[in-house]
Amino acid sequence: MMNYRKKQGGFVAAISMLLIMGIATMAALEFSTFMTTQRIKSDVNSFYNRILYLEQQMHAYATTQYQTGVSINSYALYPRMLSDLEGDYIPECSEADSRAGTCWRYDETPWGEVQGYQRIGVPIGAAYPDFYRAELTIPLQDTGLESYHLERNVTLQMFSQLPNVIFDEAKNTLTLRIERPDKAFAYDGLVKRSGDDSTLLGDWDLGGLFGITNARDYMIAGVGGGQISVSKRLVTIEAVSHGQIVKKPTCSKDLLPNLTLSFSESPTYVGYDYVAGFKSYIQSQNSNAWTVGVDTTLRNSNTKKLERTHYGKATASVQCI
C-alpha cells in the first residue's frame, strides 16, 4: 500500500513539473512573440516617421525652389533625384554608415530599398500638364514568407493613416504622393518678389496713403509693344541765364545726368534792335552741377554794329540717360 502511494505521489509530482514547464514554455513563447511584435512596431514606426520627415523636407525643397523663381506648377519644384536632398535638406548617410547602423539612408526601408522616385505630371499622360507632384514607391515585405506577415500587416496599418498613400496589392507596394506645398494656388495668385508669372489682373490702388519707393525704374507699355523707361523720360525744364548753376539730378544705376540747352526767348533789349546770334553752352561742371554760358550777338541800335553780350536766357532740360 505504501509503495502504491509513493508511486502515486511521484506521478503527481512529475505531472506538476510538466505543467509548470509547459506554462513556463508558453510564457516564454508569449513573451518572445510580444518582444518580436514590439520590435517590429518600433522598426515600422521609425520608418513611418522617416517617410513623414522626407515628405516634409520635400516641401522645404519646393518652397526654396519657389522662392528662387521656379513656377509653382513646374516639375523643377521637386528634386530630380532623392539624393539631391542630401546635405541641405536631409542628413547625409553613406552606405558604410548605414551598414554600421549609425544612420538610415533616404532610399532604405527596414526590409529593403525604396523602389522608385519620380515627378508625375497632372493630368497623367497630358502633353502639357497643369502641375506636377512627386511620388515615392515603397516595396512591402515578401508575402511568400510567413515570418514577414506580421511586419507587413503592421506596415499597412501604420501607413493607412496617411490619405496620400496608395496600396497596390498586385505589385505589393505603397505609393506616397507628395503634392505641392499647402496654399499653392494662393501662392500662384500672389504678386511674387521674383516677378515670375504674377501679372496684375486690375489697377493697383495704393489707397492714397503710400507710395512706391526705392525703385530703379518703371516701364510703361508703348503702343508698338515696346517699353518706355520712366527714369529716362523724367525731364526738368527751366530758363537759365549766363553763369547760372544747374544742379545735377540723382540717377538710378547705369544712368548718367544729362543737360540739354536750347534757345529760350528773344525779348526786346534796350539799345539793341536785332538779334544776330545766340549760343548756349556749359561753361564748367563738377560732380554736383553745371555752370551755364549764354552768348548773344546783338546789333547796336545807334552804331548799327554787332556786339557780343550775355543777355537772354536758355532753356535747360535736365534728365538721366
Q: What is the pLDDT of residues 208-265, one digit of tens each?
A: 888 888 888 888 888 888 888 888 888 999 999 999 999 999 888 888 999 999 987 6
Tell me the HSE value of 252 on the side-chain side, using a 13 A CA sphere. 13
pLDDT band of residue 281 (cuts 50, 70, 90) is very high
Residue range 103-132: mean pLDDT, rounded = 86
What pLDDT score does 292 carry?
A: 96
DSSP state of 164: T
Please tell me whether the peptide bond between 129 and the residue prior to it is cis, using omega within 30 degrees of 0: no
The answer to whether 319 touches 232, Cβ cutoff 8 Å, is yes
CA–CA distance from 257 to each of 46, 215, 233, 296, 317 (Å)? 66, 17, 12, 26, 11
What pLDDT score does 203 carry?
A: 82
Q: What is the mean pLDDT of the chain?
A: 82
Domain ranges of the chain: 34-184, 236-320
275/267 Cα distance (integer angstroms): 9
120/116 Cα distance (integer angstroms): 12
Q: Which residue has the cell 529593403?
A: 112
Residue 134's nearest CA partner among 82, 71, 202 is 82
CA 291-271-282 angle, 5° bins: 10
More confident residue, 15 or 52: 52
Residue range 91-98: mean pLDDT, rounded = 89
**Element (H or E) spanning 316, and its range?**
strand 314-320
196/222 Cα distance (integer angstroms): 21
292/290 Cα distance (integer angstroms): 6
pLDDT band of residue 78 (cuts 50, 70, 90) is very high
pLDDT band of residue 282 (cuts 50, 70, 90) is very high
More confident residue, 63 or 38: 63
More confident residue, 282 or 253: 282
Query: Which cell numbers hold the place of 86?
Result: 542630401
Backbone angles phi, psi at 320, to 5 degrees: -105, 135
CB within 8 Å of 157: residues ≥ 6 apart: none
**Element (H or E) spanning 19, and its range?**
helix 2-67
What pLDDT score does 4 carry?
A: 47
Residue 33's nearest CA partner among 143, 150, 156 is 150
Lowest mean pLDDT among 12-16, 72-76, 206-210, 279-283: 12-16
Of 68-72, 243-247, 297-301, give the range with the top mean pLDDT: 243-247
What pLDDT score does 272 carry?
A: 86
234/232 Cα distance (integer angstroms): 6
Lowest mean pLDDT among 25-29, 180-184, 274-278, 286-290: 25-29
What pLDDT score does 145 carry?
A: 64
More confident residue, 245 or 34: 245
Give yes or no for residue 3 having a pLDDT over 60: no
What pLDDT score does 291 carry?
A: 97
Give yes or no for residue 165 having a pLDDT over 90: yes
Amino acid at 80: R
Say what the pTM is: 0.54
The answer to whether 136 touches 175, Cβ cutoff 8 Å, is yes
The answer to whether 57 touches 90, Cβ cutoff 8 Å, is yes
Q: Which residues pair with residue 309 across a beta bridge?
A: 296
**Element (H or E) spanning 97, and its range?**
helix 95-99
Give yes or no for residue 176 having a pLDDT over 80: yes
Query: Which cell numbers hold the place of 259?
Result: 543737360
Residue range 181-193: mean pLDDT, rounded = 66
The answer to whether 98 touches 108, Cβ cutoff 8 Å, is yes
Give yes or no for residue 53 having a pLDDT over 80: yes
* Percent of the chain with pLDDT strictly greater than 90: 32
